[in-house]
Amino acid sequence: MELILKNLRAFDPQTGLDGVTDIAVDGGRIAQIGGEMPPADRVIDCTGLTAFPGLFDMHVHWRDPGFTEKEDIFTGAAAAKAGGVTGVLLMPNTKPPVDSAETVKYITERGAQTGINVYTSACITKGMKSEELCDYDELKAAGVFCITDDGRPVENAELMRQALELSVENGMCVSSHCEDLKIINGGIINKGRVSEALGVKGMDRASEDYITAREIALAASCGAHIHICHVSTRGSVNIIRAAKAYGANVTCETAPHYFTYTEDKLMSRDADYRMSPPLRTEDDRQAIEEALLDGTIDAVITDHAPHTAEQKADFLKAPNGVVGLETSLAATLTHFYHGGKCGLDRIVRLMAVNPRKILGLPPVKIAVGESAELCIFDPNERWTVVPEKLHSKSKNTVFKGETFTGRVKYTVCGGKIVFEDM
C-alpha cells in the first residue's frame, strides 16, 4: 500500500460517510476504508483532521498565456493545492483569448503537469469581441465543455441567444459575466454611499441585475441551461430564485468576499478590495448569505484574479480582481460553519459536489475504488492570512490580515500528496 491516512474524519454526503476511520490509498485510488490496515510506504496520523472530496473551483484566472507576470499555470496550481482544490476551470480572458484549439492545447498540456485536474473554458465569441461566435465543434474536439466570455459580458444579445441555442445541441455549459458595460460606464466600485464619499465613479447594480435577467430569458427561449457567474446583488439573487421557482434551468455561483465584506472596505482606498462585480452593501451581503443557505446559489468559487503589486498600487487606475484560492475554504468554514449558520454538508456541496455537477464532470467521492482526491483540513486551526506567504505569484488578497478558523493540511490528487502544510 502506498499511503494510509489514520484516524481521519471522512465526510462525504454523496456516500453518507461521516466518521473517524482509516483510509488506504494505492495506485491512485482509495483501496480501503476502515478495518485492519496493511503495511504502507507512508502512514499519516490525521487525528483531529477532516477530509472532504477534493474541492473544485469552477472560476479562476491563471493569466497564462499572455500575462504570466501576474500568474502562470504552475503558480496558480500551487495556490489551488494549498487551498485543498484538486480541480479548476480556467477562464478564457488570456492573451490570446482561448478561442482556438491551439490555445486550448497549450493550457491543457501545461495543466497536465501540475498534479491536479486543470480544465479551461473557451470564449463564446472570437477574441471576446461580441461580434462572431467561436467554432464550438473545434473547441469541443479539443476538450472544452464550458464557454464564456468572462472578464467581459457578451454585449450582443442575439449572439448570446445563438450560443445558448447551440449549447442544447453540443452539450456545452454556457456561463455569463453579467455586466452591462454601458451602465457601468467606467465605474470602479459599487455605486452608492461609499462611491459618493470617495468622489469616484460607481458601478450601478442595475448592470448586473439587467444582464442576469436577460440571460435567463434568453436561455428559457431555447430550453438551454445558463450559469450566472459571481452573483453579488440582492436583485440578481431574487431574479435567480424566482426563475428557479418557475423551473428555469439556471445555476449560479458567488465568492467568499461577497458574503464576508461590504463596500465599506473601499473607504481605505486600497485597490486590493476592488473586484468586478464590486463589494456591495450590507443588504446585498445578507442576500448572498441567505441564498447560499437556501440553495439559490449553487457554488462557491473564488474568481481568483491575480494582479501585480505595481498594478494594484493606484486605487483609481488599478485593474479589478483579487486572489482567493488559498483562503476560500477557510473563509467559508469561518463564516458559515463556525458561525453556526450551516453544517459541513452544505459547504462540501457548494465547494466540491455542485461545481462538478454543473459542468457535467464525474463526481469525486470518498469511496473504495474511487480516485483518491481529498482535501484534508484542520477545522479548528486558527491562522492569519499573510499575503507574502501565499503560493500565488500575486498577493492581492482581499483577506490580508484576516484570521480564519480552518486550515488545509494535506491535498491529495490522483493518490499523490500534492500539498502538505509544513
In the numeric block, the cell 462538478 is attached to: 356
Strand order in the sheet with 173-176: 146-147, 173-176, 226-228, 250-254, 299-300
Specify the 3-state DSSP secondary structure of 413.
strand
382's enclosing H/E stretch is strand 374-384
The CA distances from residue 210 to 5, 58, 206, in Å, are 49, 23, 6
Q: Is 220 exposed, middle or buried (0-12, 13-18, 19+ CB in 10 A)?
A: middle
Which among 167, 373, 354 has a CA at the least distance from the CA of 254?
354
Q: What residues contact residue 114 under an 8 Å CB cut-off, 6+ apart?
A: 73, 74, 77
- The Cβ-side half-sphere exposure at 82, using a 13 Å CA radius, reads 18
Judge if the upstream peptide bond of residue 355 is cis by omega within 30 degrees of 0.
Answer: no
Inter-residue contact 232 to 211 (CB < 8 Å): no
Helix 234-245 and helix 206-221: axis angle, to 10°?
A: 20
Catalytic residue numbers read 303
